[in-house]
Amino acid sequence: MTNDQIKQAVTQIISVIAPDEDLSHLKSDVALRDQLELDSMDFLDIVMELRKRYKVEVPESDYPQLASLDSCVAYLAPKLKDK
């Protein structure tokens, strides 16, 4: 997956988990939880969807690396390069 595809994939997951949010103005370099009403259960949903959709495991110690869209791309790119 390209970086753009990863960003789109994460955004699509967030659209399902936070269906009331307007994601059109989401800033890639700002923490997701500073822009959206996301709590810890929502965050676990993101981890679960990555597991279900892309067979990506995110260990708890790596959760901080999913803070923003940009950091998601940086973290997931090596894991999704062959997907």
Partner 1 sequence: MNNHRRIVITGIGLTAPNGNTLAEFRANLLKGVSGVVPFETRYMGKVLAGVCSYDPYKYQLKKEVRRGTRAGSIAIYCAQEAVGDSKLDFPAHDKSRIGVYLGITEHGNVETENEIYNISQFNYDTKFWSHHHNPRTVANSPAGEVTLNMGITGPHYTIGAACAAGNAGLIQGAQMLLLDEVDVALAGGVSESIHTFGIFASFASQGALASHADPAKASRPFDRDRNGIVCSEGGCVFLLERLDHAEARGARIYGEIVGYHMNSDASDFVLPNSQRHIECMQAALKRAGIAPQDIDIVSTHATATPQGDIQECQALRVVFADCPKTYFNNTKSFIGHAMGAAGALELAGNLPSFDDGFIHPTINVDNLDPQCAVPNLVINTPQTVPRVDYILNNSSGMLGINSVVVVKRI
Q: Binding residues for partner 1, per CB under 8 A?
A: 17-20, 37, 41, 44-45, 48, 51-52
Q: What is the CA radius of gyration of the chain?
A: 12
Q: How far apart are CA 83 and CA 30, in angstroms?
A: 26
Q: Work out how close the CB of 3 gets to partner 1 at its nearest, in angstroms, rounded to a whole number.
A: 27
Q: Work out how close the CB of 44 gets to partner 1 at its nearest, in angstroms, rounded to a whole number.
A: 5
Q: Work out how close the CB of 20 gets to partner 1 at its nearest, in angstroms, rounded to a whole number.
A: 5
Q: Which is nearer to partner 1, 19 or 78 (CB)?
A: 19
Q: Which is nearer to partner 1, 20 or 82 (CB)?
A: 20
Q: Which is nearer to partner 1, 52 or 83 (CB)?
A: 52
Per-residue DSSP letters for 13-81? HHHHHSTTS--TT--TTS-HHHHS---HHHHHHHHHHHHHHH-----GGGGGGGSSHHHHHHHHHHHHT
